[in-house]
């Protein structure tokens, strides 16, 4: 898999799959956020990814890096809340790390995502175990060394593993111990992002 070349088309398929998945799961994400937040996570991401797809379709960028920086910029300007800048940073930073290459390897993508996830942690002042999106993003990136499917599985498990944790960042942290017993909405949406990545890979990658 490390030899596989990912082109701009692959990254466009990733963003399209992410938008479709966020659309399908919007009410679940909002339900999770209504339990421990302000019930807007699904609609926030739905609006954001719809804007991402619209922009990418209007003028498809020619490189992997440009697809992700464009997507990240759209998320920052349309999502708002805590998750907009965090997801925007994730994609923009990943895109920046990929530079101007026309094709990137899975290993280059993993390294770029690693740097971007660390940037998200820094921006949020959050660490693993704080019951945030980081708890799905981090295991997802680490499992990318194995396969896209393994990354999706690990991110999903990471999201489910936030249930017994007390939220230490974001709105859910205002609840203190009452946040225990709920899955973090941002971790759930991060798992969707990794599932969409695996979906894009299933649709075929250029060899």
Comparing CB distances to ligand ADP, the nearer of 81 and 88 is: 81
Q: Is 57 in the site for Mg ion (CB under 5 A)?
A: no
* Residues whose CB falls within 8 Å of the CB of residue 48, separated by 6 or more in sequence, listed in order: 74, 75, 78, 79, 84, 87
DSSP secondary structure letters along the chain: -TT-EEEHHHHHHHHHHHHHHHHHTHHHHHHHHHHHS-S-HHHHHHHHHHHHHHHHHHS--SSHHHHHHHHHHHHHHHT-TTHHHHHHHHHHHHHHHHTT-SEEEHHHHHHHHHHHHHHHHHHHT--TTSSSTHHHHHHHHHHTTT-HHHHHHHHHHHHHTTTTSPP-SSGGGGGGGGGTTS--HHHHHHHHHHHHHHHHHHT----
Q: Is 86 in the site for ligand ADP (CB under 6 A)?
A: yes
Comparing CB distances to ligand ADP, the nearer of 109 and 119 is: 119
In the bound complex, what is the minimum distance in angstroms from residue 132's beta carbon to ligand ADP? 3
> Which of 6, 12, 29, 33 is the binder for Mg ion (CB under 5 A)?
33
Stretch that binds ligand ADP, among 9-17, 63-71, 78-86, 109-117 (CB under 6 A): 78-86
> 159 near 187, Cβ under 8 Å?
yes
> Which of 21, 83, 89, 179 is the binder for ligand ADP (CB under 6 A)?
83
Comparing CB distances to ligand ADP, the nearer of 13 and 169 is: 169
Binding to ligand ADP, residues 95-154 (CB under 6 A):
124-126, 132-134
In the bound complex, what is the minimum distance in angstroms from residue 107's beta carbon to ligand ADP? 26
Total residues interacting with ligand ADP, rule: CB under 6 A: 23
Q: Is 85 in the site for ligand ADP (CB under 6 A)?
A: no
Binding site for Mg ion (CB under 5 A): 33, 37-38, 40-41
Binding site for ligand ADP (CB under 6 A): 33, 37-38, 40-41, 44, 81-83, 86, 124-126, 132-134, 169-171, 184-187
């Amino acid at each position: 898999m490390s030899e596989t070349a990912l082109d701009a088309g692959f990254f466009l398929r990733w963003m399209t799959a992410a938008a479709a998945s966020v659309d399908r799961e919007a009410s679940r994400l909002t339900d999770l956020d209504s339990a421990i937040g302000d019930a807007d996570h699904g609609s926030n991401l739905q609006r954001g990814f719809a804007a991402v797809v619209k922009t990418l379709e209007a003028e498809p960028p020619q490189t992997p890096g440009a697809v992700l920086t464009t997507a990240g910029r759209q998320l920052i300007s349309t999502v708002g809340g805590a998750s907009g800048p965090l997801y925007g940073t994730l994609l923009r930073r990943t895109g920046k790390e990929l530079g101007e290459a026309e094709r990137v390897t899975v290993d280059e993508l993993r390294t770029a995502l690693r740097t971007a996830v660390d940037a998200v942690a820094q921006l949020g002042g959050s660490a693993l175990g704080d019951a945030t999106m980081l708890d799905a993003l981090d295991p997802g990136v680490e499992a990318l060394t194995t396969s896209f499917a393994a990354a999706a599985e690990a991110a999903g498990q990471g999201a489910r593993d936030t249930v017994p944790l007390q939220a230490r960042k974001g709105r859910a942290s205002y609840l203190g111990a009452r946040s225990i017993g709920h899955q973090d909405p941002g971790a759930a949406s991060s798992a969707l992002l990794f599932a969409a990545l695996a979906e894009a890979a299933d649709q075929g990658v250029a060899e």
